[in-house]
Amino acid sequence: VKSYTYDQLQQRYAMYCLHHATGPYSWADASGWKRKGVPECQWYGVTCEPNTNMVQRINLRDNGLQGTIPPEVALIPELVVFNVNANTNLTGTVPDHMCNIQSERGLDIKVDCDYVSCECCSNCAQARKGD
């Protein structure tokens, strides 16, 4: 951690918050998450930009997450895909900060709209049109 940049520390903090807030003991696969000495790029469901080791994608679809999405996820500076769809025990609302990032840099947010409300998620907007 000593050699981390500010952005990498912020990213790691946000990832820890995500793990803690979404019921870490209920996850189907938490390989690498919060393990000492394991960089985020080696955590289950995480894809990084290879040259910078910055997280670009989090795909925890159907992984047993529960609880709520913490606002700290918006602190991941290079995140472009956040997929937590099909986690039926995940509830609440997508944090406003994430919607701000969605509009600023095109963050693709995927949630199960029956359980998590999201004003900025295109898949939720499509679901609302079908009502």
Residue-wise DSSP of 30-77: -TTTT-TT--GGGSTTEEEETTTTEEEEEE-TTS--EEE--GGGGG-T
**Distance (Å, whole) CA 14 – CA 76:** 6
Give the amino acid at 23.
G
**Distance (Å, whole) CA 40 – CA 46:** 7
What's the whole-model pTM score? 0.90
Query: According to the model, what pLDDT value does residue 1 have?
Result: 54
Please name the helix (run of DSSP H) or strand (run of DSSP E) that holds residue 81, with its range, or none: strand 81-83
| Segment 27-61, tens digit of pLDDT | 999 999 988 888 899 999 999 999 999 999 999 99
| Segment 71-119, tens digit of pLDDT | 999 999 999 999 999 999 999 999 888 888 887 888 899 999 889 998 8
Under 8 Å between Cβ of 41 and 19: no
| Segment 58-71, tens digit of pLDDT | 999 999 999 999 99
Residue 10 has pLDDT above 90, yes or no: yes
Query: According to the model, what pLDDT value does residue 127 have?
Result: 44
**Where does 43-93 have alpha helices with state H?**
none
Total length of the chain: 131
Query: According to the model, what pLDDT value does residue 131 have?
Result: 40
